[in-house]
Amino acid sequence: MTFRLAWPVLVLWLGMLVPALAQVIPPPMKQAPRPASPGVVLPGPATPKDSARSQGLVTDTETLRRIDSLRRANSGRLEQIQTELLTLKNSSTDKRRERDLITEIMALRQVDSLRQARARQYIDSLKQYAKGFPVAPHGDTLFYVYTKLGPFSPRERAQLTEDKIKRLQEGVFFSPDSLLIYPSEQTTDLMYGQQVLQSINQNDALWQNVSRDSLARAHRARIIAAVVAYKDANSLKSIAKEIGLTLLVLIVLYFTVKYVIKLFRWVRLKLRAKEGTWFRGIKFGNYEFFNEQRQLSTVLLLATVLQWIVVLLTIYLVLPIVFSIFPGTQGIADTLLGYVFNPLKKIGLAFWNYLPNLFTIAVIVAVFRYVLKAIYSIKEEIREGNMAIEGFYADWANPTYQIVRVLVFAFALVVIFPYLPGSDSPVFQGVSVFLGFLFTFGSAGSLSNIVAGLVLTYMRAYKIGDRVRIGDVTGDIVEKTLLVTRIRTVKNEEITIPNSSVMSSYTTNFSTAAPTLGLVLHTTVTIGYDVPWKQVHQLLLEAARASEFVLAEPQPFVLQTSLDDYYVAYQLNAYTREAGKQSLIYSLLHQNIQDKFNEAGVEIMSPHFRAVRDGSSVNLPAQYLPKDYQAPKFRVENSDEPKG
């Protein structure tokens, strides 16, 4: 009997429970994440974002409304069962029917409890994404509206409630006791007189996880506190206090600015009094960058600029204090302070967030610094001859080090570049590309000179101090760089030749072989056929040996380079190690040749010389002629030949 009675009850209970659990509750719509600490949100005109948010809340409200309609249906059925139970208890005729009704009540209550738990779980999931609309009459948010009521969306409900609260605040008389709570079957209304400020339904209560009456009391308390605070802040007494406090702040500001100006005036007088002791000028080597008067004037100018910066900063910081005294201008105060503190906050946060990259850059710089030190040590060893590399000359050490150093710096920049602030910015990348184009096209000629300078370095065509001839320029190398080569001629003329021009011309180096093999200097004289060639050779060699700059070994020698119509060309060749004194050596050689030939009575008749010997003196300087020498007279002889 008991089993037969329990079986229909179990079937009935499962028949009501399964459809209730089978109610499909769609997942909440994803909306913009809710901020951790919502600030002041002022209502404004509807935007596409607000419309999407409002539509999402409306959809969620429809889902909650379907759940609530099932709850109300169960509530109606519970009332019917309870009425029937009262009737059965009064009659006491059908105990079996009474037990069935009690079992059904228990099943309905359990289903309703499960449905309410599902609704609570659904709302909790919505709170992770949904963002309600604030009711903020004058900037301070009192509460949020999340659900739709009748034809009004959540945003419209929040706006209407906010407007009604503003009218209460602007009214002359306000009685907190007149703000009453009127509960009804579907909503709980907050009414001031005949005006409904807000209607709270069951979904509003579910959002806050409280009952409708508790939520209505909480909203009533917040509205009353907001209206009373607004009226207190805008009362005549409060306004008088605010005006007095403002005047006090302005007076303090006036005296602060006044004494700041006096302080800087005293500082300027003190600086002028220390003109001869504190200010002695600034020198870079022999150049006086700042004299005493200029240095003092600069410091006084900086003091004046600092004075006005302090004054303006003081005024700027006091203005937000003045605006914050009046409730209506507190937004201006926040804005003014934001102009200063928001950039500082951004700079501080940016610097804090950049610290890991900064540490990374520091490590990279340290590593490359020690790499360069190691390369520099190797360079010095090669340059000083302590380390020898086959085929690598010591004078290549410095230029090779410079090339390797540039490559190391370029590689370091490539490694560091991703860690630089703004390196991934399109603007930064565009500027980098633009500068690269400028450098490439603007330095086309310079790059050719640099390449030529590198080639000349490794060709070892010349070095500093060498006597060279480049093209038609002869002189000593005084400087060679990657771009140009500078030559100082024997006339102390400094000539700058681009390295590309050096590469395109020929170069004669007189100093390379002079220290070892000796530089051969040569000069040519032409002597008539009437003088024996052996005598000419002897005189030329004696003239060469008479010079202190000519080497005895290897010995000088004479070459007969040509036999011309009127004379023979004799070339004197002499060795010297003083390549830089060619002009002086040639001059001494020519002097010695003249002296030796004049002493020997040999006339240098070159390249062409014509003379009538009869009646003419010998073509020699007077000091080389005998003291009793007289020029021969011109002779004419007559012949007495018989006439035919």
Q: What is the tens place of the pLDDT at every residue in 577-597?
A: 888 888 889 999 999 999 999
Mean pLDDT of the chain: 75
The answer to whether residue 4 scores a pLDDT higher than 60 is no
Task: State pLDDT tens for residues 128-144.
Answer: 666 778 888 877 788 88
Query: For residue 61, what pLDDT is reported?
Result: 57
- Window from 148-157, 310-319, 435-444, 616-625 with minimum mean pLDDT: 435-444
Query: For residue 43, what pLDDT is reported?
Result: 40
- Window from 108-112, 504-508, 538-542 with minimum mean pLDDT: 108-112
To the question of pTM greater than 0.75 for the whole model, the response is no
In angstroms, the first-to-last Cα distance of the chain is 203
The answer to whether residue 642 scores a pLDDT higher than 60 is no
Query: For residue 298, what pLDDT is reported?
Result: 82
- Across the range 35-60, mean pLDDT stands at 47
The answer to whether residue 87 scores a pLDDT higher than 50 is yes
Task: State pLDDT tens for residues 153-173.
Answer: 888 888 888 888 888 777 767
The confidence band for 119, taking pLDDT boundaries of 50, 70 and 90, is: low
Task: State pLDDT tens for residues 328-384.
Answer: 666 676 676 677 778 878 888 888 888 888 899 999 999 999 999 999 888 888 878
Query: What residues contact residue 533 under an 8 Å CB cut-off, 6+ apart?
Result: 560, 568, 570
CA dist 474 → 289, 315, 460, 488, 508 (Å): 40, 73, 18, 8, 9
Phi, psi of 136 (to 5 degrees): -130, 90
Find out whether 586 and 522 touch, Cβ atoms under 8 Å: no
Query: For residue 558, what pLDDT is reported?
Result: 94
Q: Which two tokens stand for residue 46?
A: 């509807």
Which tops the pLDDT comparison, 545 or 40?
Answer: 545
